[in-house]
Amino acid sequence: MRYFTVFQKVNECVAVYRKSRALFTVLPLFLLYSLFPLKGYGQVLSLEQALQLAIQHDPQLKGNAYREQGFNAQSDAAAYWENPQISASVQNIPTDGFAVDQEPMTQFKVGLKQQLPRGDENVYTQQKYKVMGKSVSIENQARKAWLKKEVTLTWLNWFYASRRITLLDKEKALLTQLLDFTNSSYSQGASSTVQQDILKVRLALLSLDDKYVQAYQQQSEAKAALSKWYGAPLEESLSVPSTIDLSAILQNHNGNLSAFLNVIDSAEPFTILQHHPEAILLKFQTQIEAQNVNIAREQTKSRWAFEASYGYRQDDENGVSRADFVSFGVQVDLPFFNQSRQDASISAAASKMSASETDFRLKVNELASKADVLKTRLSGLSERKTLYESALIGETEQLSEAELTAYTSDTADITDVVNANLMLVKVQDDLLNIDVERAKTFAELAYLYLPSHINLSSKE
């Protein structure tokens, strides 16, 4: 019986044994998780579920809700004047007897003072806090988009490591089969088999063990990095689906891949990315600095205060009534003597506003440049994916089938069959890497274009 047939039968028996053993191993775990499900997601954590969980448990999004409430409350508070001041005093008490009815100037005085805001300072302060409150909603939008990108990239690292382990299992089975064949041939004294062949296969298996270590390390690191978004480590039993769902990456666009590609192809980066949340935040910062300029200019105006007081006097020692006093007054400060300081404050506020405008232009340029790089990368990855799927995968499969046919016809060696299958595994590994890198590029492009497209559409 040919060696290949024997090894195939043995592998089938081993596979049946492993499946039966795995069934009895997994059954208690299945019963356990049926009683205590992992947050309702079972044993597989899809990308869509990972994104939902990350947004649901993100503390910054929850904290921003309180920040927005705080800015809105500060805006309401800025509309009011400062608290009035009330004063009470006993004036002009004679020191020779401390009698309140001895001298006509002795009186009990109660006063009220109200200070007015400096120009329209309160109006501009109120507008400033309103802008800061609105910027929180854009900050939330930017945070969600950034969070989806980061979680997607980490999840894809986990996916790649997991799928690569599956491919390594295939490679190990082929190398083990090749080692068994070379050992058997060498023990039977086959002239074509030398000890170096056995050493080469063993070296390949040792190298494969190193690949296993790297893949498992990448898998563990990806799961650990993913757990930071949830505030708790992921269960060891959690796994990823067998395929990448691009619709989860494009869920803000209803998972419509063609529509998303149309947005990328038709939109000019420097135009659409002006509406990206990161750029809009800098626009809001410019508006805030503009209000600071207005507030600084209001400091050049005088500040007024009005006061009124009532003085009560007792009757004199003979019982003659004394008239009470009512006083009115106005206070005003004179900011004209600090003109240099005020001009410097206005100049500083105006410089900050100009710097914010420059930061906005720099941010748009940075985002647009990154978008061009990502589009170029996506184009190259798509071409490679087409090449692999249309040619390389098919060619390597045909080579594997041809070597197997030649071996069954006694015109080829088992080594050629195994090497052809190893080549097929390598091509599948390369295709897996292309798919993952392509999905990562989609995630980064989605972070740039989707929020910008949504903001632009809302204005039209």
Structure tokens, 285: 């910062």
A 10 A CB-CB count for 351 gives 12
- pTM (two decimals): 0.77
Q: Could you tell me what percent of the chain has a pLDDT over 90?
A: 43
DSSP, collapsed to helix, strand or coil, labels residue 195 as helix
**55-81: pLDDT as tens digits:** 988 899 989 989 999 999 999 999 899
Structure tokens, 424: 């097929």
Q: For residues 145 and 451, is the Cβ–Cβ distance under 8 A?
A: yes
Burial 380-412 (b: 16+ CB within 10 A, else e): ebeebeeebeeebbeebeebbeebbeebeeeeb
CA dihedral 432, 436, 442, 448 (to 10 degrees): -160
- Report helix, strand and coil shares of the chain as percent, to nearest 5: 70, 10, 20
Query: Across residues 239-245, what is the average pLDDT?
Result: 85
Q: For residues 328 and 310, is the Cβ–Cβ distance under 8 A?
A: no
pLDDT at position 160 is 94
Query: Looking at 17-31, 59-73, 226-240, 250-264, which range is the least confident one?
Result: 17-31
The HSE-up count of residue 332 (CA atoms within 13 Å, CB side) is 7
Query: Across residues 352-381, what is the average pLDDT?
Result: 94
Kindly report the average pLDDT of the chain as a whole number. Answer: 82
pLDDT at position 34 is 30
pLDDT at position 221 is 93
Q: For residues 33 and 237, is the Cβ–Cβ distance under 8 A?
A: yes
429 vs 189, residue with greater confidence? 429
Instruction: Report the top-level CATH class of 37-82+120-170+213-300+336-459.
Output: mainly alpha
- In single-letter form, the type of residue at position 409 comes to S
Residue 358 above 70 pLDDT? yes
DSSP 25-45: HHHHHHHHHHHS-STT-TTB-
pLDDT-derived band of residue 188, with 50, 70 and 90 as boundaries? low
Q: For residues 48 and 245, is the Cβ–Cβ distance under 8 A?
A: yes
In 289-379, beta strands by DSSP E: 304-312, 325-332
Query: Across residues 89-109, what is the average pLDDT?
Result: 86
Per the document, the length of the chain is: 460
pLDDT at position 39 is 43
**118-145: pLDDT as tens digits:** 889 999 999 999 999 999 999 999 999 9
**301-350: pLDDT as tens digits:** 889 999 999 999 988 878 788 899 999 999 998 887 788 888 899 999 99
Q: What whole-number distance in Å separates Cα of residue 111 and Cα of residue 306?
A: 11
Query: Across residues 237-261, what is the average pLDDT?
Result: 73
Give which of 144, 202, 140 is closest to 172, Cα–Cα. 202
In the chain, where are the structural domains located? 37-82+120-170+213-300+336-459
**394-417: pLDDT as tens digits:** 998 898 888 878 866 767 677 787
